[in-house]
Amino acid sequence: MSQPALPTRPVGRSSLRVSVLGLGCATLGGSRFPVSPQVAAGAIHQAWNDGVRYVDTAPFYGYGAAERRVGDALRAMPRGDWVLSTKVGRLLVPCANPPAGAGGTPRPMPFDAVYDYSYDGVMRSFEASLQRLGLDRIDMLFVHDIGAYVHGAAHAGHMQALERGGYRALDSLRSGGAVRAIGLGVFETAVCLEAMQWGHWDAFLLAGGYTLLGQEPLMDLLPACETQGVSLIVGSPLNSGILAGGGLWNYKAPPPPVAARAEGIRDVCAAFGVPVVAAALQFVLAHPAVAAVLPGPRSAQEQADNLRALHHPIPPGLWAALRDRHLLHPQAPVPQGPVVSTDSIERTMHEVQS
């Protein structure tokens, strides 16, 4: 039996509203871990049944596979009932013998990706995504992986291409109604702050940047977002799994201080009988600038686990204990009650039925 749609929050000053729990589809593309089309479809359908009405994907996820899987799974759902974001900044080109991914995982699709932040590159990426998705519209476009974190010394050139060309394409698509919101999908706060100096954005999808493990954006990006009316969407809330006991931190081995901090957070959660996933998802949603959190489940079971984590009760003492151990920034907002309360679910169900 399907759950009622989850509560929604606005995306910046746009007309969009997204469910507080979204579905991140990076893993469902099958390039980081082997994920079959059937398993991916099961996770997407489980998310729909759980009331998730916001789905994020990208051409880079599975080199086209994630977009195809998302479109195939959701095409029959009432299009006005859900929000889709995808990304620009990479174009997929045919590749006869694509290299294997991390851990030797075969590439799901015979393509390679080349960076292109120009006007034509953004327009071509947008049109190609519509074809792969099999949909007539995309709600929100993020510029994927711009920034020094990914590009190093080449960042300045890519940023110039975006400012002088790609942004004009995004703004044209938005003003013409082809998309309803635009933003960046990145790992770092610095590039968001840089882009805010010359562009008008609706949202930033920040992966692993504002989480239970680290809250540096409280000092700069989040206040700027509140001032300019830009929403933050939190991706990778478990920092690639380290908070849940995995071995990676933001897709790489963690330095010892980060590993120790993650272990301390897990210890506090265990002492209060709270799953770390529950604390991680609910914590980020306490900030008023955050519109949604985007975990990336690998299966229907992991998606169902994420929904349970969103509902899990968390005693206020847990947040106090994290602060006492200097594991939580003193200025970080924390939940004052259930993020998704019984009242909000009953209200949402009434809205769906009326």
Tell me the average pLDDT across 224-241: 96
Helices 300-311 and 276-284: crossing angle, nearest 10°?
Answer: 70
Q: What would the pLDDT profile of 195-207 be if each residue is shown by its tens digit?
A: 999 999 999 999 9
Whether residue 3 is predicted with pLDDT greater than 90 in this model: the reply is no
At 345, the amino acid letter reads: I
Task: Report d(CA 261, CA 328) in Å as an integer.
Answer: 10
> What confidence category does residue 315 fall into, taking pLDDT thresholds of 50, 70 and 90?
very high
Options 50, 54, 61, 115, the catalytic residue:
61
- Burial readout 275-300 (b: 16 or more C-beta within 10 A, e: otherwise): bbbbbbbbbbbebebbbbbbbbbbbb
Whether residue 341 is predicted with pLDDT greater than 70 in this model: the reply is no
Share of the chain above pLDDT 90, in %: 86
The kind and range of the H/E element at 324 are helix 316-324
Q: Is there a catalytic annotation at residue 56?
A: yes
Whether residue 53 is predicted with pLDDT greater than 50 in this model: the reply is yes
Task: Report d(CA 164, CA 233) in Å as an integer.
Answer: 25
- How far does Cα 220 stand from its chain's mean position? 20
> Which pLDDT does position 4 carry in this prediction?
82
> Which pLDDT does position 103 carry in this prediction?
67
> Which pLDDT does position 102 carry in this prediction?
66
Q: Is there a catalytic annotation at residue 81?
A: no
Tell me the average pLDDT across 329-346: 74
Between 344 and 238, residue with greater pLDDT: 238
User: Which residues touch 121 (CB under 8 Å, ≥6 apart)?
Assistant: 88, 89, 91, 161, 165, 166
> Which pLDDT does position 201 carry in this prediction?
98
As a whole number, the mean pLDDT across the chain is: 93
- How far does Cα 55 stand from its chain's mean position? 9
Options 63, 87, 115, 117, the catalytic residue:
87
> Which pLDDT does position 349 carry in this prediction?
34
Share of the chain above pLDDT 70, in %: 95
> Which pLDDT does position 33 carry in this prediction?
86
Q: What would the pLDDT profile of 26-46 be if each residue is shown by its tens digit?
A: 999 998 889 999 999 999 999
> Which pLDDT does position 347 carry in this prediction?
39
Tell me the average pLDDT across 147-170: 98
> Which pLDDT does position 348 carry in this prediction?
36
Query: Using CB atoms within 10 A of its CB, is residue 302 exposed (0-12), middle (13-18) or buried (19+)?
Result: middle
Whether residue 342 is predicted with pLDDT greater than 60 in this model: the reply is no
Whether residue 352 is predicted with pLDDT greater than 90 in this model: the reply is no
Q: Is there a catalytic annotation at residue 87?
A: yes
Whether residue 219 is predicted with pLDDT greater than 90 in this model: the reply is yes
Q: Which domains does the chain have, with CATH numbers?
A: 8-353 (3.20.20.100)
> Which pLDDT does position 350 carry in this prediction?
38
Task: Report d(CA 92, CA 112) in Å as an integer.
Answer: 6
User: Which residues touch 127 (CB under 8 Å, ≥6 apart)?
Assistant: none
> What confidence category does residue 346 fall into, taking pLDDT thresholds of 50, 70 and 90?
very low
